[in-house]
Structure 1
């Protein structure tokens, strides 16, 4: 029986290429042009284009500026290093997930997707007991979720739904809010298309 062919070295994206995918996906999800982001950063359009193609590596100061422009935590841009090169851009090990929130907000999210370069992102969202999103959120995305544990209430387009472990939901481009009315954390596997984090 023939062994599977080894993946060609150029098929495994580098850390810079994965970072480039994330920056491009975030820019596009916010409806910004290369020129608009370059202007906000005080950089040239050519430099921005090189960053998005993985040809130039942004500095820490640049990454902080990207985080401000895209309203994401700077930690999102780190964590592409993997011990096994064949897993880069394909596998995310439990201990190497990128954390996207803090317990102070009542919501901690971890990126389960290797990067934001695909057509969707997968998150593990943990909602603290009593946590809630008080203001309605509305983004041009299709979203779905599966409640792994706890209880979870979600308002979609003005209608509240109470979920228990094993329940799931989906909505497309509709306003939403959430809350955890329970005494235990609620864990939701959340899928968002296109990626917004």
Structure 2
């Protein structure tokens, strides 16, 4: 599998910090609201770590915004996405490339992406509300669920509750392509609350902690 290239990326650390300061809450309070450790939040704000979309969704919910406050991802015009024309994006600093294949409409609950995962990539361990299904399209990944490892090859799938601690990694020498679908409402959060959303190409930065 050749290395995919994202068409859009953004830096989220300063946006997390800026929104947290606007709400006048501490890292400790944000950690309690989001379920993300204070140490990891500190790394994120300093752009020393890159979260998965699931972790970023937890932080966005705790800050009272939708995920698109941090990531201006392409929005499908309708339920059809054409493989050859589907935009790709990534979170700044992450080597994982995403393709959004889910659409938004009243009453929808699913989010769905195709993930292009590079060799050596390892996600953080997370837990959250909702449920997830992963299906391997190309290559292989190791899914970790409550400490138990499942080596997943092409055609394998796994369906689990998001409140079980989970993560995954690619220990192969090639890229993996994974279909992820979940009821974690990544793009169904509150309307973005402040006019500091970055453009698709650049992120808003600020100095200091």
Aligning the two structures, in what range does the TM-score lie when normalised by the shorter sequence?
0.5 to 0.7
Q: Which runs of 5+ in 1 are unaligned?
A: 1-38, 41-65, 81-87
Shift of residue 71 of structure 1? 4.9
Shift of residue 136 of structure 1? 1.1
Moved more, 184-193 or 112-121: 112-121
Shift of residue 91 of structure 1? 1.1
2: distance between equivalents of 1:123 and 1:116? 16
Structure-2 residue corresponding to 1:101 = 90
2: distance between equivalents of 1:116 and 1:105? 29
Q: Which runs of 5+ in 2 are unaligned?
A: 1-21, 24-59, 188-209
2:136 aligns with one of 133, 140, 147? 147
Map 1:61-100; keep pairs closer than 5 Å: 69-72=65-68, 73-76=70-73, 78-80=74-76, 88-100=77-89
- Preserved CA contact (<8 Å) 1:130 1:181: yes
TM-score (norm 1): 0.55
- Preserved CA contact (<8 Å) 1:75 1:99: no
Using CA pairs below 8 Å that are at least 6 residues apart, which structure has the higher relative contact order?
Answer: 2
Structure-1 residue corresponding to 2:173 = 183
Alignment root-mean-square deviation, CA: 2.7
Larger radius of gyration: 1
- Preserved CA contact (<8 Å) 2:127 2:165: yes
2:183 aligns with one of 156, 168, 193? 193
- Which structure features the higher share of helix residues? 1
Work out the number of aligned pairs and report it: 125
Shift of residue 196 of structure 1? 1.9
